[in-house]
């Protein structure tokens, strides 16, 4: 899944027309946080970096994207077998782990629109089609639909709701436009599509059409496929509308692994995270006649898209008939899990993951990540054949049914809850390559770690990944707009983890420190049939050099974390960020005149955490001969930040510092219990959530201090 906000391209692909022989050229770093002597590890890393191969990554991507492979289909199973074979060839102890989960597949999806005289304005959906796309006519291309959509047959007047954000629905209310019983048509972008449906449902709408406006990822941005990378007129963004901000995974088993033998009696109703109204994703080819015929007031500033007419809000002018018949069944999905046992601390686990299932071909999303992970496995396999064994266990995971709601990863995390107490980190990659611009998100304790990894990997554009990353983030706007305190020294912004990919169960349910990496570019075919191998080689990475780069970054994260003497988790950075979050929440509460909320206890708990972190940081820099106690404390500190009760109204989410926003879905809300209570002007809940946060910070400080 993963929302792509495409960045401007820094480097044209034409400039990279010649494949370069990219072996690591820069001298390895002399000292690395976490190692008392980096010399021997530098040699291992050099050997690792020499293995991931661009050409083989391209072959793997071609194989993975040869057919549509939506979760639980025979083609999805074939890709699982392929991954298992590749894992075994590399020497990984491999198993295919099935789960039985509730998934919908579309039986009937229909949209018709009529003007006030009853004349047909459109009848669709129109099949996705452009001149010359090689994969579009395969009968296995699933018709565009929303995962988790309710079934329904609804006829009602249409209302335009812009991006379907809280402020958009407020604006409609201010214009006295009632959406109750109406069909809301809104555009993709700005938030998770499930949030659009969630808000439409809360406001009493009868159904939702979600379309891709050319302003957001079509011709307004640049040439559409097959000329360029942007969305053509018939391209549709499929996707899940599961209320994943309530909980992700199998809708019937929150907190429980839906193994094939889990009895039906142990499964609950799917009510908790499923919409109750139908929704259908459509193209702008199909949305345009509806929007053009809408009457009512003209749209306010910021609501006009790029279609060539004035937009109106409705209601009136257009009656829409929407039919969505979904076939809900418990279906089998397949995770592929490959292990390399650690030689010294086999119970400590470094987990690497990427999802394999795609809405259609999924060349960028997710199989650029899959090819990168396979080449990382290739590199680890080569080290194994040379006699290397990692100090800690490394587990590579190929997740299934991520697109429907992070299902394969969530069920595995729920099943492995006990062994994940021993996980030191989770490294995710999803949309690995859509262009040349590297970026990363991480918990604060791993932000510097990711930067150091990026300094150790060459970029196809010359210099290191870090150099190129730094250059295209030359303005610090992105960082200043974030929640983090000012960056110190020579640095680059690392984002916060919200949701939309498989790190969510690891970090926000199990408390495993996580990172997510990608190399982005103009990408307008997200979740359409056109996200295929032909699009990838024309627009994203013609010589697969960025697949190679991402394989090196991902694999090096695992190798360095698995081998280190002392875990390089930086709790000083973490404590400083938490302090900044609390200060910002306090300012917000003051601005909103919520004067009864006392932040003092939380602020002093954050100060205690910082003091404990500074103490342990000094020990990490000069560790004792046996760092076992130190590592135990470092490993347990993130888990200590979980609140046993979970967040209000969404108890599955246990992390007190990060959660997906209830009204954003993808982007992170920090100290979520506190901030969402303030946003809702609920002082009582804010006070209670500050107490839970304070307890968590005290727990984490206690854990870090226990290493002494
Ligand atoms: Zn994805």
Q: Which of 4-8, 124-128, 449-453, 631-635 has the lowest mean pLDDT?
A: 4-8
Residue 526 Cα to ligand 1 middle (Å)? 9
pLDDT class of 12 with cuts at 50, 70, 90: very low
Residue 699 Cα to ligand 1 middle (Å)? 34
DSSP E strand boundaries for 115-217? 120-124, 146-147, 152-160, 183-187, 207-211
Residue 500 Cα to ligand 1 middle (Å)? 8
pLDDT class of 418 with cuts at 50, 70, 90: confident
Cβ contact 527:671 at 8 Å: no
Q: What is the per-residue pLDDT across 502-516, written as a single tens digit (0 to 9) for each? A: 999 999 999 999 999
Q: What is the per-residue pLDDT across 435-488, written as a single tens digit (0 to 9) for each? A: 999 999 999 999 999 999 999 999 999 999 999 999 987 555 555 555 666 666
Say what the pLDDT of residue 576 is: 98
Torsions phi, psi of 172, nearest 5?
A: -60, -40
Q: Which whole number is the average pLDDT over 207-223? A: 98
Q: Which whole number is the average pLDDT over 314-336? A: 97
Say what the pLDDT of residue 708 is: 75
Residue 498 Cα to ligand 1 middle (Å)? 14
Q: What is the per-residue pLDDT across 78-98, written as a single tens digit (0 to 9) for each? A: 999 999 999 999 999 999 999
Residue 556 Cα to ligand 1 middle (Å)? 22
Q: Which whole number is the average pLDDT over 96-117? A: 98
Residue 362 Cα to ligand 1 middle (Å)? 8
Q: What percent of the chain has pLDDT over 70?
A: 94
**pTM for this entry:** 0.95
Say what the pLDDT of residue 487 is: 66
Report the sign of the C-alpha dihedral through residues 186, 190, 195, 201, in that order.
negative
Cα–Cα distance for residue pair 7/10, rounded to 1 Å: 9
Residue 501 Cα to ligand 1 middle (Å)? 7
Residue 269 Cα to ligand 1 middle (Å)? 26
Residue 568 has pLDDT above 80, yes or no: yes
DSSP E strand boundaries for 550-698? 658-660, 668-670
Cα–Cα distance for residue pair 334/357, rounded to 1 Å: 10
Residue 368 Cα to ligand 1 middle (Å)? 10
Residue 649 Cα to ligand 1 middle (Å)? 27
**Alpha-carbon distance values, 614 to 567, 611, 622, 642 (Å):** 15, 5, 13, 21
Say what the pLDDT of residue 357 is: 98
Helix (H, G, I), strand (E, B) or coil at 651: coil
Cα–Cα distance for residue pair 522/510, rounded to 1 Å: 34
Residue 674 Cα to ligand 1 middle (Å)? 30
Enumerate the β-bridge partners of residue 102: 330
Helix (H, G, I), strand (E, B) or coil at 418: helix
Residue 402 Cα to ligand 1 middle (Å)? 7
Helix (H, G, I), strand (E, B) or coil at 332: strand
Say what the pLDDT of residue 16 is: 40
* For the chain, the helix, strand and coil percentages under 3-state DSSP, each to the nearest 5: 35, 20, 45
Q: Which of 25-34, 560-569, 645-654 has the lowest mean pLDDT?
A: 25-34
Residue 192 Cα to ligand 1 middle (Å)? 13
Residue 286 Cα to ligand 1 middle (Å)? 25
- The one-character DSSP state at 538 is I
Residue 174 Cα to ligand 1 middle (Å)? 37
Active-site option among 56, 171, 402, 619: 402
N-terminal to C-terminal alpha carbon distance within the chain: 43
**Alpha-carbon distance values, 341 to 51, 347, 413 (Å):** 21, 9, 19
Q: HEC profile for 489-522?
A: CCCCCCECCCCCCCHHHHHHHCCCCEEEEEEECC
**Alpha-carbon distance values, 71 to 87, 309, 400 (Å):** 20, 39, 6
Residue ranges of the alpha helices (H) in 416-565? 417-420, 444-455, 465-472, 477-480, 503-504, 533-535, 545-563
Contacts of 21 (CB under 8 A, 6+ apart): none
**Alpha-carbon distance values, 4 to 192, 501, 515, 564 (Å):** 11, 12, 17, 33
Residue 352 Cα to ligand 1 middle (Å)? 15
Residue 354 Cα to ligand 1 middle (Å)? 8
Cα–Cα distance for residue pair 292/115, rounded to 1 Å: 11
Contacts of 321 (CB under 8 A, 6+ apart): 110, 111, 112, 113, 114, 153, 154, 155
Q: Tell me if residue 638 is catalytic.
A: no
Say what the pLDDT of residue 18 is: 40
Residue 140 Cα to ligand 1 middle (Å)? 19
Residue 2 Cα to ligand 1 middle (Å)? 5
Residue 8 Cα to ligand 1 middle (Å)? 21
Say what the pLDDT of residue 6 is: 39
Pairing of strands 423-433, 345-355: parallel
Q: What is the per-residue pLDDT across 242-288, written as a single tens digit (0 to 9) for each? A: 999 999 999 999 999 999 999 999 999 878 899 999 999 999 999 99
Residue 107 Cα to ligand 1 middle (Å)? 24
Produce one character per residue of 434-450: b if its CB has 16 or more CB atoms within 10 Å, e if not.
bbbbbbbbbbbbbbbbb
Q: What percent of the chain has pLDDT over 90?
A: 88
Q: Which of 3-12, 141-150, 488-497, 532-541 has the lowest mean pLDDT?
A: 3-12
Residue 23 Cα to ligand 1 middle (Å)? 29
Produce one character per residue of 296-330: b if its CB has 16 or more CB atoms within 10 Å, e if not.
beebeeebebebeeebbbbbbbbbbbbbbbbebeb
* Selection from 6, 457, 421, 412 nearest residue 221 by Cα: 6
Contacts of 643 (CB under 8 A, 6+ apart): 654, 655, 656, 673, 692, 693, 695, 696
Cβ contact 521:472 at 8 Å: no
Say what the pLDDT of residue 184 is: 98
Q: Which whole number is the average pLDDT over 528-534? A: 98
Residue 151 has pLDDT above 50, yes or no: yes
Cβ contact 559:25 at 8 Å: no
Q: What is the per-residue pLDDT across 619-662, written as a single tens digit (0 to 9) for each? A: 999 888 889 999 999 999 999 999 999 999 999 999 999 999 98
Q: HEC profile for 75-138?
A: HHHHHHHHHHHHHHHCCCEEEEEEEEEEEEEEEEEEEEEECCCCCEEEEECCCCCCCCCCCCCC
Cβ contact 469:492 at 8 Å: yes
pLDDT, the chain, mean: 94
């Amino acid at each position: 899944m993963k929302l792509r906000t495409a960045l401007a391209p820094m480097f044209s692909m034409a400039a990279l027309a010649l494949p370069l022989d990219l072996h690591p050229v820069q001298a390895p770093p002399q000292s690395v946080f976490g190692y008392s002597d980096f010399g021997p590890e530098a040699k291992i890393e050099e050997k690792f970096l020499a293995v991931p191969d661009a050409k083989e990554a391209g072959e793997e991507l071609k194989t993975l994207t040869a057919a549509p492979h939506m979760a639980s289909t025979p083609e999805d199973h074939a890709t699982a077998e392929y991954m298992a074979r590749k894992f075994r060839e590399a020497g990984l102890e491999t198993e295919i782990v099935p789960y039985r989960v509730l998934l919908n597949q579309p039986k009937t999806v229909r949209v018709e629109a009529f003007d006030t005289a009853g004349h047909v304005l459109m009848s669709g959906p129109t099949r996705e089609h452009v001149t010359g796309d090689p994969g579009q006519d395969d009968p296995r291309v699933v018709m565009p639909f929303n995962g988790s959509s309710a079934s329904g047959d609804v006829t009602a007047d249409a209302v335009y709701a812009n991006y379907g954000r809280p402020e958009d629905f407020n604006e409609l209310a201010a214009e006295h436009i009632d959406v109750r019983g109406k069909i809301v048509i809104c555009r993709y972008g700005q938030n998770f599509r499930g949030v659009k449906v969630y808000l439409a449902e809360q406001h009493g709408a009868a159904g939702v059409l979600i379309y891709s406006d050319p302003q957001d990822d079509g011709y307004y941005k640049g040439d559409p496929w097959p000329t360029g990378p942007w969305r053509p007129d018939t391209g549709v963004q499929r996707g899940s509308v599961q209320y994943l901000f309530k909980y992700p995974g199998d809708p019937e088993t929150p907190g429980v692994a839906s193994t094939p033998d889990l009895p039906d009696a142990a499964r609950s109703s799917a009510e908790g995270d499923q919409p109750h109204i139908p929704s259908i994703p459509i193209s702008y080819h199909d949305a345009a006649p509806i929007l053009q015929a809408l009457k009512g007031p003209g749209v306010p500033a910021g609501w006009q898209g790029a279609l060539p007419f004035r937009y109106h809000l409705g209601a009136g002018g257009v009656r829409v008939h929407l039919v969505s018949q979904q076939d809900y069944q418990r279906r089998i999905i397949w995770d592929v899990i490959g292990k390399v046992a650690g030689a010294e601390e086999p119970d400590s686990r470094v987990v690497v993951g990427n999802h394999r299932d795609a809405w259609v071909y999924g060349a960028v999303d997710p199989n650029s990540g899959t090819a990168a992970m396979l080449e990382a496995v290739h590199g680890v396999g080569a080290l194994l054949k040379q006699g290397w064994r990692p100090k800690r266990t490394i587990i590579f995971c190929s997740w299934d049914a991520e697109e429907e709601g992070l299902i394969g990863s969530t069920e595995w995390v729920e099943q492995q809850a006990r062994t994940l107490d021993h996980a030191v980190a989770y490294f995710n990659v999803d949309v690995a390559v859509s262009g040349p611009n590297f970026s990363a998100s991480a918990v604060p304790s791993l932000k510097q770690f990711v930067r150091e990894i990026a300094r150790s990997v060459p970029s196809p554009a010359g210099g290191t990944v870090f150099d190129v990353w730094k250059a295209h983030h030359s303005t610090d706007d992105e960082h200043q707009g974030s929640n983090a305190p000012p960056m110190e020294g020579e640095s680059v912004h690392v984002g916060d983890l919200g949701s939309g990919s498989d790190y969510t169960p690891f970090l926000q349910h199990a408390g495993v420190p996580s990172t997510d990496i990608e190399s982005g570019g103009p990408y307008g075919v997200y979740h359409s049939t056109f996200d295929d191998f032909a699009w990838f080689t024309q627009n994203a990475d013609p010589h697969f050099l960025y697949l190679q780069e991402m394989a090196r970054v991902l694999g090096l994260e695992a190798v360095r974390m698995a081998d280190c003497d002392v875990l390089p988790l930086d709790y000083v950075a973490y404590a400083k960020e938490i302090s900044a979050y609390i200060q910002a929440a306090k300012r917000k509460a003051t601005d909103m005149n919520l004067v009864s909320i006392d932040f003092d206890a939380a602020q002093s708990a954050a100060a205690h955490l910082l003091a404990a972190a500074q103490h342990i940081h000094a020990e990490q820099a000069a560790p004792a001969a046996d760092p076992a106690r130190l590592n135990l404390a470092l490993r347990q500190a993130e888990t200590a930040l979980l609140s046993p009760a979970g967040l209000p109204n969404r108890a599955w989410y246990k992390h007190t510092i990060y959660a997906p926003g209830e009204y954003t879905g993808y982007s992170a809300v920090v100290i979520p219990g506190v901030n969402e209570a303030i946003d809702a002007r609920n002082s009582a809940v804010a006070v209670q959530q500050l107490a839970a946060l304070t307890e968590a910070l005290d727990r984490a400080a206690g854990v870090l201090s226990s290493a002494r």
